[in-house]
Amino acid sequence: MTAVWFDESRLDDADVLARVDQDLRHLAESGARVRRAAGESAEAVQEALARSQGSRPRAVIAAGPDSRLLRAVLEPWCPVPFVAWPGPGLPGWAGSLDLVVMLAPDPSDAAAASAVAEAVRRGCQVVVACDPASMVAEHAAGRWTSVLPAGSGDQLATAVVVLDYLHRVELGPVGEAEEVARALDEVAIACSPHRDLAVNPAKMLAIALAEANPLVWGGSVLAARAARRVAESIRRASGRGAIAGDAEHLLPVIEAARPRNVFDDPFADEAADLRPVLVVLDDGNEEPVVREQRGQLLAAATRQGVRVETVGSSATSEVARYAELSLTGRYAARYLSLGLVEGP
């Protein structure tokens, strides 16, 4: 019978790391993609500002599959009603008084193209960040449409372009591209494959996840969004059932954790027997509800002997903290995949 086990020595093996150099390089270039998107879209953002003429829309509708990220940033700030509409089409009431914004990092996204075409047909003001040569841009053509160039395919870089525009029309918080890019660069340095696992936060997190089922929690809206991205990355990397959720969803899993048995075979290939590990994405939010939920999770983990791993952020803006937490988790997922091997 073949078992899957974790060989942490692979994380510092230059030959092994060279095999995934392209993947790690893609992660390391996250900051560069944000800077490039901001630079490429600067002129288009100015044109969109001139077209808006300082008028405030009746409502802002974030359309398309990536609308939830915009909602996480804008909902607490937007001075007009804000709606995230991730499904096809638009709300029935959307019209010429409303602003439709869209992230379209995937140039062939048929759902995004359909939604933006409907917005144009209804006479909405439309701002879409996408590849100018894409199908989405073609469907967005219209009198009241602004296409902000963002052709890297990177969701975060695309989001930063739209958030910059929304801040300038006083519909969102400050989201400076350079600050986000700097936070991503700092993660790339800290989590570099050339940095020893003893001082590499992503490698250490991968080791902590090696023989566990991860439960990923973020207290604020954006940290919770980052938790979902991290859990998705872990699932893809390991094939394990990583879960991201609110405290009420994770507490029953922690409380049901079986007592640790010192006689367990650490090489047994039985995923059902893997103990949970709680991964807390801490963006520094100290709102009473967040503090209470974090306290409940940590107390339950202590009672059940569940290991807790905390990923923190030192960035100053919400979007930069989201970027830092997400990228650290994605690095950890890649190192986890690298260390998992099959053996007799």
**CATH number of the domain residue 200 falls in:** 3.40.50.10490
Alpha helices in 53-81 (DSSP H): 67-74
Consecutive H or E run containing 157 = helix 155-168
Residue that finishes a domain, picked among 168, 202, 227: 168
Q: Give me the pLDDT at residue 271, please.
A: 45
Q: Residue 174 domain-assigned?
A: no
| Nearest by Cα to 282 from 204, 215, 192, 219 | 219
Q: pLDDT band for position 260 (50/70/90)? A: low
Q: 190 with 337, same domain?
A: yes
Number of domains in the chain: 2
Lowest pLDDT segment from 6-15, 69-78, 90-99: 69-78
Evaluate whether 335 touches 238 at the Cβ level (below 8 Å).
Answer: no
Q: What percent of the chain has pLDDT over 90?
A: 67
Q: 73 with 20, same domain?
A: no
Q: Give me the pLDDT at residue 272, please.
A: 47
Q: Give me the pLDDT at residue 148, please.
A: 93
Long-range contacts of 90-93 (CB under 8 A, 24+ apart): 90/61, 90/63, 90/115, 90/118, 90/119, 90/122, 90/124, 91/61
Q: 113 with 208, same domain?
A: no
Residue that finishes a domain, picked among 168, 197, 232: 168
Q: Does residue 192 register a pLDDT over 90?
A: yes
For residue 142, the enclosing domain spans 55-168
Q: Residue 36 domain-assigned?
A: no
Q: 222 with 286, same domain?
A: yes
Q: Give me the pLDDT at residue 263, please.
A: 58
Q: Residue 47 domain-assigned?
A: no
Q: 197 with 261, same domain?
A: yes
Evaluate whether 114 touches 63 at the Cβ level (below 8 Å).
Answer: no
- The angle at the Cα of 200, spanning 274 to 217, to the nearest 5 degrees, equals 50
Lowest pLDDT segment from 75-79, 120-124, 186-190, 325-329: 75-79
Q: What percent of the chain has pLDDT over 70?
A: 94
Q: Does residue 1 register a pLDDT over 50?
A: no
Q: Does residue 239 register a pLDDT over 90?
A: no
Q: 131 with 59, same domain?
A: yes
* Averaged pLDDT score across all residues of the chain: 90
Q: 236 with 300, same domain?
A: yes
How far apart (Å, rounded) are the C-alpha atoms in residues 200 and 190?
Answer: 6
Q: 207 with 128, same domain?
A: no
Q: Residue 39 domain-assigned?
A: no
β-strand pairing of 340-343 with 3-6: antiparallel
Strand, coil or helix: 103: strand
Average pLDDT over every residue of 336-344: 84
Q: How far is CA 208 from CA 6, 162, 336, in A?
A: 10, 36, 9
Q: 152 with 186, same domain?
A: no
Q: Residue 45 domain-assigned?
A: no
Rounded to two decimals, the pTM is: 0.90
Q: Residue 35 domain-assigned?
A: no
Evaluate whether 321 touches 313 at the Cβ level (below 8 Å).
Answer: yes
Evaluate whether 108 touches 84 at the Cβ level (below 8 Å).
Answer: no
Q: 23 with 64, same domain?
A: no
C-alpha torsion angle, residues 136, 178, 154, 56 (rounded to 10) = -30
Q: 136 with 156, same domain?
A: yes
Q: Which residue has the higher pLDDT, 283 or 269?
A: 283
Q: 241 with 116, same domain?
A: no
Q: Residue 103 domain-assigned?
A: yes
Q: Residue 246 domain-assigned?
A: yes
Strand, coil or helix: 323: helix
Q: Give me the pLDDT at residue 189, please.
A: 97
Residue that finishes a domain, picked among 132, 148, 168: 168
Q: Which residue has the higher pLDDT, 67 or 97?
A: 97
What number of other Cβ atoms are within 10 A of residue 195's Cβ? 15
